[in-house]
Structure 1
Amino acid sequence: MSTLTLESPMTVPRDTARRSVLDLLEDAASGHGTVRFLASDTEATSISTLWAQSGDAARWITDTVGAGSTIAALLSNTRPCAAFLIGAWRAGCTVASLPLPGRGISIESYLEQLGRFCAAAGAETLMVDAAHARLIESPPVPVHTYDEVLSGGPTCPFDGGGALVQFTSGSLGTPKGIFLSLEAVGANVEAIISTIEPDVGDSSCSWLPLSHDMGLIGLFLTPLAAGAPRFGHHDLVLMTPEKFVTNPNSWLRTCSEFGSTFTVVPNFALELAVRTAKRAGSLDLSRVRVCIVGSESVRADTLKRFTDTYAPHGFQPRAFCPAYGMAEATVAVTAVRPQQHWRAMSFDGASFGGASFGGPDSHTLVSTGPPIDGVDVRVPGPEGAVGQIEFRSPSLLDRYIGAELRLTDDGYFRTSDLGLVDGGELFVIGRSDEVIIVAGRNLYPADIETALPDGMVRPGCVAAVEAPGGGLAIVAEATSSRMEPTELDRVCRSIRGAVAVATGVGAATVAFVHRGTLLKTPSGKLRRLAIRTVLAEGESLLWRKDFA
């Protein structure tokens, strides 16, 4: 069987020595870049000052925890946390970034999860901000707050050489950590910089949590590194995810206020921005030239609605850069290049060898572009064939913690994602372990979830999963917490009908969970496999309707 491989448009020789992310940050410290932590600081902090504070943190860590230790951390979007992270790496420590409490998880379950994460990573210290310290009454290991690290410690040498461990969001059972060298992180940061091509006067805005790979690598370390003298002056404005969740308009208002040119968001953030547009007020988004969209399925209808809504405020559709990535690649694998209009293609079932993708007639996929520098991507089979996405990259993880890393004989990492290659670009369909097979048809959750008309369920709170007895199940949050059983039953039937019209498949089960309990990761992605377990157990359901 032939295989089409997308090779990266290399801008540097493959045998060039990789630079650590610490090397990139030290370069940036000699420039004029700044970062503004809106959660705590009224004034911008120069990257050189942040670098100096990371030295204080490195001395505190060496004196208190020990150089070369493994430290677990609930990373937050604050200056003390940023100083800790960089300082820990300078002290040669491995930082295990743990997921923040996810939606629908009790504090007891979360503390148990923290204990498993710390044990898996071999961490004997947990770093948190003051707010989380108050929540963790019985920590699995000794806890310190980020404010402590700024006090410094005795003068001592430190030579870097640390590492980063990212635990997968919503891990079940034995935690699986992704161990990344600082050289791998540096390679991905440099590749992203090469993709966005920063220039004098560029600035970034982010609300993404530093506990998530897209927030930490894509929109924190990358903008910091872009502050190096060779790129000119670069400013980063860092919001908190809590601010965005409570007020989605705050992201675009901050971009407008600070004249941001670069931002990164998941698809659901664009949906929220469209739904709340009437409360946005006057905005100037004309300076936004790069808006990377990733972390979850990118929807063509979402990009179009956002453009239609915010074009009057100066937003340009060519700013959208749909992208694909994963923690095993540090973060980024492919991306549409800035100012090159994103591409969407409609395919019918015959185009996929008879497989069906959500709708009875066609399926629209958005291109996530060609590989970024240094990365090769392939999908086994001829061009246009659906298969498992594979890649190799200088940013690939060194190893798993809690699982075995297996590569192909020629060094490719085989993902759990399905996709196809067309015109030199990657189109991602969905995760292979979330496919729902009904009567020989492959149904993909994202297509079904977006097929429901507005008003049937709470926006953004619906999941398509495999039913306990086989077939399709829909699990959602109701639009109101006061619905009577007869109304819930009626809405279940309406949902089944709407899904059947959109996909040609009737749901075997439709269920409602209580508001605020549909399981999601801290970054807002649906935890479909865990939701499937909740449905099978049936204990946390508000209402369930099975159809014969």
Structure 2
Amino acid sequence: MRTDRDVMDHEGRGASPLQPTPTDDDLPRRYADFETMPEALDYAARGLRGLNFHDARGQLVRPYPFAELREDALAAAHRLIARGVRPGERIALVAETAPEFVALFFGALYAGAWPVPLPLPTSFGGRDAYIDQLATQLTSCDPRLLLYPAELDTFAAAAAAAAGVESQDWSAFALDDAEPTALPKAQPDDIAYLQYSSGSTRFPHGVAVTHRALLSNLAAHAHSMKIGPGDRGVSWLPFYHDMGLVGCMLSIVGNQMSADYLKTEDFARRPLAWLDLVSRNQGTTMSYSPTFGYDICARRVSSQMDVAERFDLSRWRVAGNGADMIRPDVMQAFVDTFAAAGFKASSFLPSYGLAEATLAVSVMPPGEGIVVEMVEETLLAGGGPGERDRPQRYRAVVNCGKPVRDMEVAIRGDDGSRLSEREVGKVHCRGTSVMVGYFRDEEATAACLDADGWLDTGDMGYLSDGYLYIVGRAKDMIIINGKNHWPQDIEWAVEQLPGFKAGDIAAFSITTPGGEETPAVLVQCRTSDAAERARLRGAIRERVRAITGINCVVELVPPRSLPRTSSGKLSRAKARNLYLSGEIQTYDIAA
């Protein structure tokens, strides 16, 4: 691995022998119109583009042309076959943002095995929680082998031992001798890989995606985003999440783009390094993030920083947003903060997708930006216009775009009937990129995928003039006295109080000792003053009552108490479980 001394710093001083792969070359672009993913890499390797890995300061440490990736992947495939790995067996990979992971992922594909990206440790939960999660997912996917970066040896080896799985760090695996041998030829309807959703912990579901489904989705979102000459990707998203793996790595190969990567943990420590990387991009940037990524960047800008001097965001063509509820207020704050650096609000590209559909279900046409509709909250909750016992309140719901190519979207009621325009119900989708099913879980598959190929996404939304609007997760809805309340509405209301920000609040339903359902609101509190805590508790309770008309249980908890999924999203379900089990510390009322 090359060292930082070989690299030009972020202000451009010094000479560097390292050059990133070019944004454009002479290879005619094909929009993922291949039968299998190995065929896509074979084609991309004929050009000069590739992947580029950067350190925590955004300095280039490893350009990785597709030709070199293909060579390493073929070598990995021969090593796997030499170890007796057969087509259809799983190869679990801890998904570090590194060239080794990408080479091993494609090596498994060339060998006919199914790569299974698994998460890295997060700051929440510690060593034991990570080992338990990894062991649970290993038991679920039943892999032939677990490969991981050497620095995670104690974690990964312990998890593998608990699951009875052979394991090896990938630097040791790379030393194995293997003679070149004939490789199996994948077919379009073969399974390409298994994808665990970011919330897969206690009861993980491995989403089985075929080559046909994958390439259909890569082509669909490439056409939706109008990928063309001059476009270049920039990403910090983890390779174990569908947006990072499919949208920001496999799509890069399938559509022959160059891309620049930061590790997710480096983005978490220095978020503005992402924007530094965008600024240095000489092409037109395509980069995605959940809402919280834009939020944290805007918050890191101090009043003394001259954003126009430090950043150049004028070439950011596609600022994608997805993977969580899109917050128009956060998007506006980002525009307000970085407009002076050339960022255009029209660059925002909202979208909607999920691992069970490979990735993209709907994408906003480029250039339309954030479009919202103001919807009365009783309609959002599935009620009628007459169900109002308090003043009307509205929520801004973001337009998540039109269904991508070869994808249908329908909104259905509780009885399965198809709803009309602007009626809120469960979002269903059907298309060539919908999963085969959950690995070895026919019951869970049947619960969400019907005989006609319609997938129940579990999300609630509505259609308006051909555009899809998402209002929340069905399982998150809080039902009190027969009325539906969205936890996001409660959380967003509390965030408007001084001193709180997105991610500080988790709302969910609990049962009181008297047997009644009531919302509980957990709020991360940074003050140690008892009187101030009492004042905050009262202010939160009154705020929720004013917004929803209901009383709630308010619990103040220490900072960093609320759990997140591996992709960084708040996990309400896990917060509820930890709260009910007493594993989240709460500040005593008198404390």
TM-score normalised per structure 2: 0.83
Question: Who is 1:367 aligned against?
Answer: 399
Query: Within the alignment, does 1:529 sit opposite 2:529 as a pair?
Result: no
Q: Which residue of 1 aligns with 2:245?
A: 216
Indicate conservation of the 8 Å contact 2:198/2:566, yes or no: yes
What corresponds to 1:52 in structure 2?
71
Q: Which residue of 1 aligns with 2:541?
A: 496
1:31 maps to 2:47:
yes
Extract unaligned runs of 5+ from structure 1.
1-15, 228-233
Cα deviation for residue 76 of structure 1 reads 1.0
C-alpha separation between the residues in 1 aligned to 2:234 and 2:261? 6
Q: SS of 2:330's equivalent?
A: helix
- 1:506 CA displacement: 4.2
Query: What is the distance in 2 between the residues matched to 1:27 and 1:544?
Result: 62
Corresponding residue of 2:431: 393
What does residue range 75-86 of structure 1 map to in structure 2 within 5 Å?
A: 75-86=95-106
1 or 2 for the larger relative contact order (CA 8 Å, sep ≥6)? 1
The residue type equivalent to 1:46 in the other structure is P
Alpha-carbon separation, structure 1, partners of 2:147 and 2:511: 40
Structure 2 counterpart SS, 1:42: strand
Residue 322 of structure 1: aligned partner: 350
* Alpha-carbon offset, residue 386 of structure 1: 0.7
- Equivalent residue number for residue 110 of structure 2: 90
Matches within 5 A, 1:24-423: 24-39=40-55, 42-64=61-83, 66-68=85-87, 69-136=89-156, 138-140=158-160, 141-151=165-175, 153-161=178-186, 163-227=192-256, 234-259=257-282, 260-278=284-302, 282-349=310-377, 351-352=379-380, 353-354=384-385, 360-379=392-411, 380-404=418-442, 405-406=445-446, 407-423=449-465
SS of the aligned residue for 1:450 comes to helix
What residue in structure 1 maps to residue 563 of structure 2? 519
- The residue identity in structure 2 corresponding to 1:51 is R
Do the aligned partners of 2:363 and 2:404 also contact (CA within 8 Å) in 1?
yes
Q: Please identify, of 256-265 and 206-215, the stretch whose mean Cα deviation from structure 2 is larger.
A: 256-265
Q: Is the 8 A contact 1:520 1:527 kept in 2?
A: yes
- TM superposition shift of 1:106: 3.4
Cα distance, 1:95 vs structure 2: 1.4
| Contact 1:267 1:294 (8 Å CA) reproduced | yes
**Does the 8 A contact of 2:131 with 2:155 survive in 1?**
no
User: Map of 1:443-458 to 2, 5 A cutoff?
Assistant: 443-451=485-493, 452-453=495-496, 455-457=498-500
> Residue 401 and residue 507 in structure 1: after superposition, are their counterparts in 2 closer, same or farther (change >3 A)?
farther
Secondary structure, counterpart of 2:230 in structure 1: coil
CA contact (8 A) 2:157 2:167 kept: no
- CA-CA distance at 1:504 after TM superposition: 3.3
User: 2-side partners of 1:453 and 1:336: how far apart?
Assistant: 28
* Contact kept? 2:503, 2:570, Cα under 8 Å: no
Q: 1:64 to 1:484 in 2, by over 3 A?
A: farther
Distance across 1 between alignment mates of 2:64 and 2:511: 53
Structure 2 unaligned blocks of 5 or more: 1-31, 412-417
- Give me the identity figure in percent: 26
Q: Choose 181-190 or 285-294, whichever is displaced more.
A: 181-190
Tell me the alpha carbon deviations over residues 444-472 of structure 1, each in whole angstroms, 9 at most, x when there is no partner.
12222222225444652211111332221
Q: CA deviation at 1:350?
A: 5.8
Task: Report the CA distance shift for 1:32/1:54 in structure 2 as closer, same or farther (over 3 A).
Answer: same
Cα deviation, residue 542, structure 1: 2.5
Distance 1:526 1:200 in 2: 37
Displacement after TM superposition at 1:127 (Å): 1.3
Give the Å deviation of 1:341: 3.3
Report if the CA contact (8 A) 2:221-2:363 is conserved. Answer: no
Alpha-carbon shift at residue 336 of structure 1 (Å)? 0.1
Counterparts of 1:12-31 in structure 2 under 5 Å? 19-31=35-47
**Structure 1 residue 381: Cα displacement:** 0.9
User: SS of the residue aligned with 2:574?
Assistant: helix
Corresponding residue number in structure 1 for 2:519: 472
After superposition, give the CA deviation of every residue in 1:175-221 in whole Å (9 maximum; x if it has no partner): 22111112211111111111122222211100001011100001111
Whether the 8 Å contact between 2:51 and 2:64 is mirrored in structure 1 is yes
Q: CA deviation at 1:90?
A: 0.6
Shift of 1:359: 9.3
Q: Deviations over 1:22-70 (max 9, x none)?
A: 2222221112212111149624221111111111111122223523231
SS at match of 2:489: helix
Cα distance 1:44–1:106, how it changes in 2: closer, same or farther (>3 A)? Answer: closer
- Would the alpha carbon gap of residues 322 and 96 (structure 1) be closer, same or farther in structure 2, given more than 3 Å must change? same
Q: Distance in 2 between matches of 1:236 and 1:289?
A: 14
SS in 1 for 2:61: coil
- Normalising by structure 1, we get a TM-score of 0.89
Question: Is 126-135 or 283-292 further displaced after alignment?
Answer: 126-135
Q: Is the 8 A contact 2:328 2:370 kept in 1?
A: no
